[in-house]
Structures are given as structure tokens and as C-alpha cells.
Amino acid sequence: MSTTTGSTPPGATARTSLARTVTDVLQPRNTLLAGMLGLGLAAAGDGTGLLWGFLGALCAGLIPAGYIEWERGRGTWGDRHVVDRTKRAPIFFVILGSIGAGSVVMVLGGAPRGILVAMLALWVMTIGLLAVNTVWKISVDSAVASAVVALLAVVHSPWWLAAYGLTVAVCWSRVALGYHTTAQTVAGAALGAATTVAYAFGG
């Protein structure tokens, strides 16, 4: 029985479709929106924290995502994944500037300490991602997914660590789609988890 050279293996299309769905649903802007709302609520102890959390999500996730879409419209990048590592630096600088500006607003507005510490943690994580990206294509999606889970586990309950299943799913999707190697996603997730160190000193 002969087979056609170059044919798609059975199940490959479904696997790619699932990976695409996972990486789109759990992309940084969505993960940060959900996570920062939870962090803000925990930091304030009441509904006002949701407003601070939304500001955090806006600065850390939504504005950078908007910048990427703007550059895509100009033809700078093909999609949000920016597969060419050498073209990613501007994104990191936008994230750093946006988080920094948001943090200033939070300080002036008297935001709860906890959400400020979370912003600091994400800012430092971005510095790490930028530094590593100069020589190696570390996974930003994996880092963000891991950071959000780790921070929620610290401020809410260790039970949030069960959500690391979602981080694993993000890592798998990035590898399945060919955007990263396993090592690059593991490194990203490890860097994201390290954001909890901020709470040891500033929480």
C-alpha cells in the first residue's frame, strides 16, 4: 500500500487547530486581563481593586497588544507572534514604558500596594525577557501565563497552582505551532514563576 509523499499525518490538522485555539484564547492580553483583575481585587479587598486591576491589564497587556496590531497594519509584522526574534525589541520597550506609566498613575492615585508590586514584578520580568531575547527566542506567552498563575497563587491561595495546567497548555501550543522549542517555553515559564520573588521583598 503506497502513501503520498508530503501528505499530512492523520490527526495533524486537528492538533494544529487545537494548538491555535489554545494560543489565541490564552494569549498574554487575555491572560493578563483576567489575572490583573484578580490581583487588583485581592490587593484592595473590595470592588475598587477591579479598576486598578483593569488599569494594570491595560498597561501590561492591552496597550502592547494594540501596538502589535498597529504595526501589523503597517506591514511591519505578519501576525502577533512576531516570529523573528530580532524584531521583538520595540515590543518590549513599549511594554516597559506602558507598565511604567501605569505604575506612576497608580502611585499618584493611591493604588493598593499589592497591585503595585504585581506591576513591578511584570516590569522586571519584561526586562528579563528583553535581555534573553537578544540572544535566544524565549517564549513571552509562556512567561505571562506562568507569571499570572504564580502571582494569583501568592495573593489568593496556593490552590491557584492547579491552574498551571493552563500554563502547560500554552507551552504545548507554542511548541506544536513551531513558534518555540520546549526549552524556550520552559525557560519562559520559569521566568514568569520568578515574578513571585517580588512579593518576598515588596509584598
List average pLDDT for each run of 10 residues in the chain, which is 203 residues long.
50 88 96 96 92 97 95 83 88 97 97 93 96 96 96 90 96 96 98 85 59
Distance CA 145, CA 17 (A): 20
Buried b / exposed e along 156-182 (16+ C-beta atoms within 10 A): eeeebeebbebbebbbbbbbbbebbee
Nearest one of 40, 64, 60, 70 to 52, comparing CA atoms: 40
- The CA distances from residue 132 to 85, 86, 161, 192, in Å, are 10, 12, 26, 13
Q: Within a 10 A sphere around the Cβ of 124, how many other Cβ atoms? A: 17
Nearest one of 153, 175, 184, 189 to 35, comparing CA atoms: 153
State residue 75's pLDDT score. 83
Say which residues have a Cβ less than 8 Å from residue 106's Cβ, sequence separation at least 6: 52, 55, 56, 115, 116, 119
Q: How much is the pTM?
A: 0.91
The amino acid present at 136, given as its one-letter code, is: W
Q: So where are the chain's domains?
A: 17-202
State residue 201's pLDDT score. 64
Q: Is 137 helix (H, G, I), strand (E, B) or coil?
A: coil
State residue 2's pLDDT score. 39
Contact 170, 141 (CB under 8 A): yes
State residue 7's pLDDT score. 56
Distance CA 41, CA 149 (A): 15
State residue 191's pLDDT score. 97
State residue 5's pLDDT score. 47
State residue 198's pLDDT score. 74
Distance CA 156, CA 162 (A): 13
